[in-house]
Structure 1
Amino acid sequence: MRNEQEMMEMLVGFAANDSRVRLVTLEGSRTNPNIPGDAFQDFDIAYFVTDMDSFKENDQWLTVFGNRVMMQKPEDMELFPSELGNWFSYMILFEDGNKVDLTLIPISEVDDYFASSDGLVKVLLDKDGMIKNEVIANDRQYWIKKPTAKEFDDCCNEFWMTSTYVVKGLARKEILFAADHLNEIVRPNLLRMMSWQIGAKHGYSFSVGKNYKFIERYLPADSWEALLSTYSENGYPHMWKSLFICYELFRTYSKAVAETLGYPYPDYDKAITKYTENVYRYYSEQNK
């Protein structure tokens, strides 16, 4: 596998030798000093170019970067509508295991790019001195944020109300419906609440990572094991158990946040827990 230095020299070197590319930036985790580097990090590169069409005519120019295992061009797909406007991207996995996400951006949209940046940007090449102020990458946008009282109540409301859809799906023997609501709404709000408690305890000056991937570092071992157990969904008994564990964890962490921040603890818990237990008893009787 080519190392980071080799990849960066290749990607910047191509841009340096192509007059159509005027500015190059690096984005994402490789710019974040708070994330340890590894071989699986993508190279998120943006080329700001003077002639988009000449690049998009064919893909031959990409061969200079190595042999491709697979490539995706999101803005050229019909099933998934483009979200990047005039930008055009290439997501490339190479034979040696390196992955490059390369985005072409019209040079006229430099200001828009930096205005919409999440802060994790590093300038690699600026042929025309367009960037007047120093750009220092930071992940501040992803730090845990202290919730307002309304945000806290909204999270509680969403968690408990959506859990009734999980209950309904399980009672009806519609496990995919139930799993979708558990995975897409219920558990994400549990993770949100857990991150708020972590922030309340440790401060709001760091991130727990994309998809909460670093949250294990800040959770007690029993909470971590309980959280992992909620991903067991292979059958109705496991799904019911996962839901009830989510209830227990959310109750514990939301009460802790409410107490720490001085917010009222809503009565959704009591009402929905009673509702769930009633439905579960009915379900159990019907499936003896």
Structure 2
Amino acid sequence: MRSTTEMTDLILETAQKLPEVKAVAMSGSRANKSIPKDNFQDFDITYIVDDIDPFIKNRQWLDKLGKRLIMQTPDEMGLRANKAEEKFTFLMLFEDGNRIDLTLCSTSGIHPWLANEPVLKVLSDPYHLLTDVPDVSEKVYQIFPATQTAFAECCNEFWWVSTYVVKGLVRGELLYASDHLYTICQKELLRLLSWEAVLQKGPLNPGKNYKYLFNFLPLKQAPFEKLLNFSSINLCWQSLLATQDFFHSEAQNFAQAAGFDYMNTVAENIMDYTQEHYKAAQS
């Protein structure tokens, strides 16, 4: 596998051999010094060019970056097609395991692009196009203390969607039930846990999909991971019941610590509702 230095040098050398490239920047986790480094981190790279069309029409220049296992161009795929004509991205996984997400950005589109890149490292800028790049900051990714309103909405969403999971399980619709359980209910549980971490440690960055959350709450990791088996109707029932118990306990503790009101009666009613349908399904 090519090293970080080798890849960075190759990215810059490729740009230097293309006179149309006016600047090169890196964003994402590799531009953020606070993110732990590993071999699966993408190289999120942007080439600033006057006109992106020639690079799209003739793509042989991409071959200089290495032999690819697979490539995706989301800006020209179906409903995701980008009509702005100011950006175009090549997502590339190479045979040695490195991945480059290479975006072409037109000089006319620099300011909108910068507005969506809070963490950025300039690698090359001979034409001084990126002098307005703000200081690197990950504040945009940070979780801040919850408000009473946000907490109430989180709890309402959790308990409301729990009834969808029950409905799916009673009907024997495992895909429907497990999808609602994980993508909504358990995500609300993670949201609640992130607020708990903030209450203890102040504003923090839990990472995309909460991937760093348990660095801040290590004792919560094992209990949460036990919830993630949805491979049968019965196991999905068990996960739902355990998820409700976990959420209810955490919400009560968090509300007390934060001085918030909690919909305790609603929660207990939905837990009773779930138990009633679970017992009926077992008979």
Aligned residues: 281
% identical equivalent positions = 36
| Distance in 1, Cα, partners of 2:248 & 2:137 | 33
The answer to whether structure 1 residue 210 and structure 2 residue 208 are counterparts is yes
The answer to whether structure 1 residue 249 and structure 2 residue 210 are counterparts is no
Residue 173 of structure 1 corresponds to which residue in structure 2?
172
Write the mapping of 1:1-288 to structure 2, written as runs, cut at 5 A.
1-78=1-78, 80-82=79-81, 85-86=84-85, 87-117=87-117, 119-133=118-132, 135-204=134-203, 206-221=204-219, 223-266=220-263, 267-285=265-283
TM-score, normalisation: structure 1: 0.93
| Distance in 2, Cα, partners of 1:32 & 1:108 | 26
1:132 positional shift: 2.9
Contact residue 11 and residue 65 of structure 1 kept, 8 A: yes
Task: Provide Cα deviations, 1:255-277, integer angstroms capped at 9, x if missing partner.
Answer: 22211221101132112111111
**Between 265-274 and 182-191, the greater mean CA deviation after superposition:** 265-274
1:33 positional shift: 1.3
* Amino acid paired to 2:239: S
1:84 positional shift: 7.5
| Distance in 2, Cα, partners of 1:167 & 1:32 | 42
SS at match of 2:25: strand
| Distance in 2, Cα, partners of 1:274 & 1:166 | 14
* Amino acid paired to 1:256: N
Unaligned runs of 5+ in 2: none
TM-score, normalisation: structure 2: 0.95
* Amino acid paired to 2:102: L
SS at match of 1:138: coil
Task: Provide Cα deviations, 1:45-101, integer angstroms capped at 9, x if missing partner.
Answer: 0111112111011221111111111111111222x4235732111011111111000
Unaligned runs of 5+ in 1: none
How large is the RMSD of aligned CA atoms in angstroms?
A: 1.5
Task: Provide Cα deviations, 1:131-159, integer angstroms capped at 9, x if missing partner.
Answer: 33464322111111111111100000000
